[in-house]
Chain A
Amino acid sequence: MNPQLAEVVEAAPGKLAAVQSLEELDRVEAELLGRRSVLAQLQKAIGSLPPEERPALGRDLQQARATLVELVETRRRALEREIADRVATADRVDVTLDAFRLPLGSRHLIYQTIEEVCEIFVSLGYVVAEGPEAEIAWYNFDALNTPPTHPARAETDTLYIDFGDPATEPLLRTHTSPMQIRWMEAHRPPVAVVVPGKVYRADTIDASHLPVFHQVEGLMVGEDVRFSDLKGTLAHFARSFFGPQTQVRFRPSFFPFTEPSAELDVSCFACRGGEPGCRVCGGEGWLELLGCGMVDPNVFDAVGYDPKSVTGFAFGMGVERLAMVRHSIDDIRLFVDNDLRFLRQFP
C-alpha cells in the first residue's frame, strides 16, 4: 500500500477514539475523507502517475476509503449511544414509587368458587342451569320425596313467603334441588346438569350460620347410571378441587331424595390425615364435603320419568363451606359483610 495512505489508515483509530462529540467527529471525518484529506490529494494526483501504477493506487485508495468510512461510522454509532445514554440517565426516576395506581377490583370468593366447581362439571359434559329462589313446596319438598310431616318443612327450618296461593306453600328454597325437578320436567334423559345458587334457611346468624348461603347441585340421569358413576364423578370432582393427592371416603347417609345415599368426605388437605389438633379438620383427618346418592324412584315418578328404565345420581354441596375449608376462613359472616379488606384478598 501507498505509504502515505497506510500511515493515514493506521493513525485513524487512535484519532477517532479521542473524539468525544459529534461535532468533533465531523471535523475528523473531513480531515480523513474530505477535500483536503490525504485521500483526496492522492486521488487528484492519480492522473499524473504512469498508467501502469494507476490501478494499484486506485485499489489502495478504494480500500482505504472503505476502511476509514467504516471506522468513522462505527465511532459515530458509539458516540450517539453514549450521548443518548447520558441524556436518558439524567431523566431517571425512582421506579419503585407507586405513582400511577391502576385499580383492580375483585370477584366475590363465593362467585369464584361456584365458577370453579361448575367448570369441573362442565368439562365432564354437564350443562349449567339456574333456577328461582322463591319456590313452592312441590318443587322444594314434595317432588323430592319429602313428606308433609318432614321436620325440614317446619317453620323453624324453612322460610315461607306471602306470595300466590297459600295452598302451594310458597317459600324460599332450602336447597338448589328444586331445580333438579324443574330441569327434569323440561328435559328428557339423558340429563347432566349442575345448578349453582342461593338457598335460604331459618337460621340465626353466627360464625357458622347464615340465613342465606350458596349451593351447587348436580344431577345425572340416564339408562345405565350406577353407583360407581356417582363415586367416580365425585371423586374426580374432589381431586380436581382439592388436588390430585386427595383421598375420598363415601359413607352411608340419609336424604329423602336419594337411595342409596352417601356423604363424601375428603382427606384433610392441610394435615393430610389426622394430625392431632389440625386447625382445618380438628384432627379427624377427614372433611365433610357433600351429600349425594342415587336418585330415589319417587323423585323420578314425580317428574314423569320411568324409574324402571332410568337411574341417576344427584349431589349437593355448600359453597361457603368449600371456600371456608380451602381458605381457612373461620367466620361465615365475612362472606356477607362485604368489607373491602376481605374482598380484596381474593381478586
Chain B
Amino acid sequence: MRVSLRWLGDFLELPTTDPGEIARALTGLGLKVESIEHLEARWAAVVTAKVVSAEPHPHADRLRVCRVDMGSEVLEVVCGAWNFEAGATVAFAPPGARLADGTVLEVRRIRGVESNGMICSERELGLSDDHEGILVLPDEIVPGRPLEEVVELPDVVFELEVTANRPDAMSMIGVARELAAYYRIPYRWPEDDYPAIPGAPTTKVEIADPAGCYRFTLREIRNVRVGPSPLWMRRRLQAAGVRPINNVVDVTNYVMIELGHPLHAFDADRLEGDLLVVRRAEDGETLVTLDGVTRRLSAEDVVICDRTGPVSLAGTMGGESTEVGDQTTRVLLEAASWDPPSIMWMSRRHGLRSEASARFERGVDPNLPPRASARAALLIHRLAGGDVLEGLIDEVAVPFAPRRVDLPLSEVERLLGPGFDQGRVVEVLTSLDLEVEGSDPLTVVVPTFRPDLSRPVDLVEEVARLVGYDSFPETLPRGPGGGWNRRQKARRRLVETLAGLGLNQALPLPFVTPEDLQVFDHPADDVIRVTNPLREEESILRPSLLPGLLKSLRRNVARGVSPVGLFEVGRVFIRESSPDDPRIPNQPERLGWALVGSFGPADLAGRSREVDVYTSTGILRVVVHALGGRVALQPDHRPGFHPGRTARVTDPEGQVLGWVGELHPLLVDRYELDGRVAIAELDLDRLLDLPRATTAQPVSALPAGGVRPGFHRSRGAAGFPARRLSGRRRIRPGRGRLRLRRVPGPGHRHPQLGDPPHLEGSRPDPGR
C-alpha cells in the first residue's frame, strides 16, 4: 500500500510533518514502512499563467505566438502546441526557469519572433510521458503561483507492508484512522453527497451464489463524458502506484485507494439484457479480461454475467467487452462484497493478483459498498459530468452486523502484565472506533471493517499495539532445562570428528531424480514423490544421501576443485510408516560420505593418499572410535557400491548399520567422476546408539612401545575374514606377561591410513 502524505492530509491534521517520525508511528502500529519515497518537483521557477491571446506566427504555420500573463508581467512566447486557446491556464517557464531535463530557458528568436520562455508539456516537467500537447491546468488556478503548489509537490510516499489480517489498512482512510488513534486526534471521511436525478437503474441484479457474493450494489450514471482525469487525480493515482486510464476508471481506482473498496464500472450500453447474475462459472466458459487475456473459467470461479455469459471476474478484473471507453456515456457502477477465500483462490488460479483482489481476499467491509458507491458517484459527476440516478440497487445475500466481543480485564493483564486498568483499555479501544459498553467484562462492539477482531485475545493485541510494543518491559524467564540430548551430543561429536579428519559437511537439496534411482537400481515405485513439484529435479524425496553427495562431488570436480571429501548428516525418506506416527513416512537420519581424489595429510608436493575402500573403512574406524562403540565389517554387495570393495557394517548384536566401500565403477562414470570414489551410508540412530564402554580399564604398567603380548599377526584367510574395528583396544596387565617378547615395530604402531587390511581386523585382539 503506497500512502501519499499530501493525500493523507485530506483526512486528518497530523501533529508532525517529519516523514521519519510518521514512519516510526506507522511501523509501530504494525503497518511496516518498507520505504519512504520523496517526490520532488523536477523543475525550478515554473509558474502558473493565463494565456491572454494566441495568434498565428507570422512566418510559421504550425506555431502560434501567445501572450502569457504570469501574474507579475505579461510575456510573449512562441508555442507549437494547439490543445489550448486564449484563456487557458498553463504551466509557464519564463527565461531563467529550469525544466526536468536540466534545460535552463533563455530568450530566443524563433522564426523571427522573440520567445520569452516556454509553455510546458507534462513530459518537459517530468510529470508524465505525455507530450501530445501542453499541460492545461484548471481555470480556477490564479496566475503566478509556483507550479509545485498546484501539483502537490514535494510529497512523501510511504510504502506500507499490510499484513493479511488488515483489509481496513489497505486504504487511505484506514491508515488515517490508525494514525488518528495513535495521535489521539480526529479524522474525517471525504465528501460523498452527490446531486442525484430521479430514477433507478433498469438493470436488475440476482445473486445466485450467496457463498461467493455477500452483497451487490449497482448505480447508474448517465451522460458521462469520458476523457482524461485532471492532473491532481492522475498525480495521486501515480503516487499510489496506479496507472491513470480515463476519468471514470480513475475514479473507481481513486475510491479504492481512498476508502479501500474496489469498484467496477461497466459500459451499460455494452451489456446485453437487463439482468446481471452473480454465479459460479461453468467449466469451459471463457472471459476476456481487461488485460486482454482469455481466461478459461472453472466451476470454482465467481463471475458476473449478462445475457451472453460472464462479463467480469468477480472482485478481480472486469471483462474487456463491457469496458468503459471513450464512447461510453452510460455507466453502471458496481460496488459488491465478495467471499475472501473465493476471490483469493480465483486470483491465484488465474495468476491474476490485482489491486482489487488484494483487498477482497483480505475481506473488505461488507457494509462499505453504498458509501463507496456514493463517493464514486460524486467524483464521476464532478470529473465526467455524469447525471447520477438516485436509486441504488442493493442486493444483500448475507447481512453483516457489528460483532460483540466480551473482554474480561483480567485477560488483558494475564497476557500483557500489570498496568491495564479499565480506563486505559477503554481509551485505547475507543480510539480505534470500537464501541465499548459495560465494565468488567467490557462488551466491545467491533465494526465490520475489522474482521480480524472476534475474540478477547484479538482485542488484547489491539491494546498492546496501541500502547506500543516498545512500552513493555523485557523479562527473561528460564525454561525447565533439558538442553541437548545424548543423541544430539553424539551427533555433534560425529560431525566435529569428520570435519577434524578433513571432510567437509555438505547440505545438498534432499531430492533425487529418476536417473539417480535408475543408476542406483532403486525401484521407481519405492520412493515418496512430491505431487506438485516445480521442477522434476525436486520431485522425488531422496531414499539415500549418496546421489546428492555424488552430484556435489561432480560439481566441484567440474569446476576444477579437487580432491573433494564431503559428508552429510540428514534425513532420507522411506516408503513405509514411521515407527512413531503411522500417518507419516519413515524418515530416519543417516550419515553419508563421498570422497574423490586423494585424502589425508599431504607432503611438500601436496601428495596424499588416493582414496579407495580403505579410506572409507579408515574414516569409519575413527568415527566409531570417537563414538566409543564397536562395529564389525563383512564383505557384501549393495546396489551402487563396488562389488569387490564394499563392506556391510554391523553392530555387536549383528544389526546392520549400513555399508562402506567404493562407488561402483559404472556409477563413477555416470556421475562423471574419475578414479576411485570412497563412499559410505550409515544409519545414524544405530551408529549413535552403539553400546559404549563406560568403565575405565586400568593402564598397563608395562612399557607400551615395542612390547606387546606375544601374539603373532596372522595374515588372515583368503576369504576376507570378518574384521573388527575396535573403538577401545585394551591390554590386560598380567596376562601374557610370561610370554612377552619383542615384535617388530609395525605390528603395534597406531593404525594409519594406507595400512594393509590385515593389520587390525585379522589380529586376534589380546584384550578380549
Contacts and interface: CB of A to CB of B under 8 A. Distances in A.
B348 interface: yes
Nearest to A111: B505
Interface string A303-336: 0000000010000000000000000000000011
Interface stretch (A2-10, A79-87, A231-239): A231-239
Given A107-B496, A124-B478, A128-B488, A253 B483 contact: no
A204 B541 contact: no
B502 A254 contact: no
A69 B715 CA distance: 60
A251 B30 contact: yes
Given A104-B500, A211-B509, A338-B508, A122 B484 contact: yes
Interface in A160-174: 160-165, 168, 170, 172
Given A111-B495, A125-B479, A336 B507 contact: yes
A202 B532 contact: yes
B584 A135 contact: yes
A101, A204, A250: most-surrounded residue (chain B CB, <10 A)? A101
A228 B341 CA distance: 35
Given A159-B532, A253-B163, A260 B492 contact: no
B351 to A, nearest CB: 9
A133 B496 contact: no
B469 A250 contact: yes
Nearest to B469: A250
B585 A127 contact: no
Contacts of B492: 115
B264 interface: no
B470 to A, nearest CB: 7
Given A104-B499, A151-B344, A161 B505 contact: no
Contacts of A252: 28-30, 461, 464-465, 469
A127 B584 contact: no
Interface in A223-276: 225-229, 231-233, 235-236, 249-254, 259-263
Contacts of A128: 482-485, 488
A172 B530 contact: yes
B454 to A, nearest CB: 11
A339 B528 contact: no
A132 interface: yes
Interface in A260-305: 260-263, 294, 296-297
The SS class assigned to the A binding surface is: mixed
Interface string B183-211: 00000000000000000000000000000
Nearest to B551: A338
Nearest to B455: A297
B564 interface: yes
A339 B476 contact: no
A344 B163 contact: no
B610 to A, nearest CB: 14
A311 B488 CA distance: 29
Contacts of B473: 228, 231-232
Contacts of A225: 477
A343 B461 contact: no
Nearest to B347: A151
A340 B561 contact: yes
Contact of A251 (B32, B455, B476, B573): B32
A97 B604 contact: yes
Contact of B457 (A135, A198, A259): A259
Interface in A113-136: 115, 118, 121-122, 124-128, 130, 132-136
B458 A163 contact: no
A42 interface: no
Nearest to B166: A254
B465 A134 contact: no
A61 interface: no
A128, A134, A191, A263: most-surrounded residue (chain B CB, <10 A)? A134
A128, A149, A155, A226: most-surrounded residue (chain B CB, <10 A)? A226
A13 interface: no
Interface in B587-633: 587, 599-604, 606, 608
B514 to A, nearest CB: 15
A243 B458 CA distance: 34
A257 to B, nearest CB: 12
A311 B604 contact: no
A127 B472 CA distance: 27
A162 B528 contact: yes
A100, A149, A163, A212: most-surrounded residue (chain B CB, <10 A)? A163
Contacts of B32: 251, 253, 263
Contacts of B275: none
B111 to A, nearest CB: 48
A315 to B, nearest CB: 13
Given A107-B496, A226-B417, A170 B584 contact: yes
A39 interface: no
Contacts of A1: none
Interface in B102-143: none
Interface string B570-586: 11010101101111110
A93 B729 CA distance: 38
Contacts of A253: 30, 32, 163
B604 A335 contact: no
B584 A132 contact: yes
Interface in B487-533: 488, 492, 495-496, 498-510, 528-533
Contacts of A51: none
A56 interface: no
Given A105-B499, A226-B415, A126 B482 contact: yes
A347 B495 CA distance: 12
A105 B567 CA distance: 10
Interface string B543-576: 0000000001001100101001111001101010
Interface in A72-106: 97-106
Contacts of B484: 118, 122, 128
B481 interface: yes
B695 interface: no
A102 to B, nearest CB: 5
A192 interface: yes
B601 A101 contact: yes
A49 B364 CA distance: 133
B164 interface: yes
B606 to A, nearest CB: 7
Contact of A103 (B510, B599, B603): B599
Contacts of B570: 198
Contacts of B577: 164
A250 B470 contact: yes
A337 interface: yes
A260 B464 contact: yes
A309 B460 CA distance: 16
A260 B465 contact: yes
Contact of B476 (A98, A133, A229, A344): A229
Nearest to B604: A99
Contacts of B267: none
Given A160-B530, A259-B458, A254 B164 contact: yes
B532 A155 contact: yes
Given A134-B585, A336-B509, A340-B561, A228 B417 contact: yes
| Closest A-B pairs by Cβ, 3 of them | A192-B479, A103-B502, A127-B482
Interface of B: 27-30, 32, 163-166, 340-341, 344-345, 348, 361, 414-417, 452, 455, 457-458, 460-461, 464-465, 469-470, 472-485, 488, 492, 495-496, 498-510, 528-535, 538, 541, 552, 555-556, 559, 561, 564-567, 570-571, 573, 575, 577-578, 580-585, 587, 599-604, 606, 608
Given A127-B480, A338-B508, 5 more contacts: A127-B482, A132-B584, A151-B361, A172-B530, A343-B504
25 contacts: A100-B602, A104-B500, A105-B498, A106-B505, A111-B495, A125-B482, A126-B479, A132-B580, A149-B340, A156-B348, A163-B528, A164-B583, A170-B585, A210-B509, A212-B509, A225-B477, A226-B475, A227-B464, A249-B27, A251-B27, A252-B30, A259-B457, A260-B457, A336-B508, A343-B505
